[in-house]
Amino acid sequence: MYHNICQSENESNKLTISVQKLEQQLQYLKDNNYETFHFAELEKMKSIPKKSIVLTFDDVTENQLVFAAPLLEKFNLKASFFIPFSYIGKTDLWNGKSESLGEKIMTIEQLKGLNNKIELGYHSYEHKKYSLLSASEIENDFLKCEEVIKNNDLRVYPALAYPYGNYPKRGDENEQFKQIVAKNKIKFGLKIGNRPNNFPFKDNYEIKRIDIKGQDSLMTFRLKIKFGKLKLF
């Protein structure tokens, strides 16, 4: 799980990785014969090679277009980019930044122009925590996503990365949430979890992702993709 990419190592932080580190990590995957997949491919598969990985980028920030997209093409690797639909062509205002200080979000034209190494998915409409929304508010969020997709003729695969990795996790609320997600034809739901997954997934709506941080060394990256997040990180 990636978020922002920056040009200089000095700018990297928890949610922002330098382009140099990202290139090292993708080079490692390529050199070690990892296979990358889109969710549209996984939907049709019953088994995958042992060295399989899904690269995900949240928020479709413009820096992903500038830095990540060319690297994916260079190394012939696939990735899934997740769209917070209300913010297309704006900035990541959910982080509490002013519009002039936030990270730019791709425009419709930029999303349509992404190379075929990139699969688009859902990251909700308003980037709010699902656990804080009522069932009707979640339904309305999906309706607004679909409106943007239809009005702009976007190709978006029905995989959903939960904002903040957050969703109702207990009892009836969890069951109701998954029913709403299924009703809206979402085929895969992604949380965080920081552990590798077995495939086929135990629960298609609770797929774990490993959080890659800007300060992670290449060794940390190698350990994370093999074992998940360990306490020493």
**Predicted pLDDT of residue 129:** 98
- CA dist 199 and 90 (Å) reads 36
- CA dist 127 and 137 (Å) reads 12
**Predicted pLDDT of residue 201:** 97
Give me the DSSP letters along 16-62. EEEHHHHHHHHHHHHHTT-EE--HHHHTT-S---SSEE-EEEES-BH
**Predicted pLDDT of residue 96:** 81
**Predicted pLDDT of residue 97:** 74
> Residue 32, exposed/middle/buried by CB under 10 A (0-12, 13-18, 19+)?
exposed
Supply the Cα-derived Rg of the chain in whole angstroms.
17
* pLDDT tens-digit profile, the chain (233 residues): 999 999 999 899 999 999 999 999 999 999 999 999 999 999 999 999 999 999 999 999 999 999 999 999 999 999 999 999 999 999 999 988 766 678 999 999 999 999 999 999 999 999 999 999 999 999 999 999 999 999 999 999 999 999 999 999 999 999 999 999 999 999 999 999 999 999 999 999 999 999 999 999 999 999 999 999 887 54
Q: Helix H segments across the chain?
A: 19-31, 39-42, 62-63, 69-75, 108-112, 135-152, 171-183, 218-227
**Predicted pLDDT of residue 100:** 64
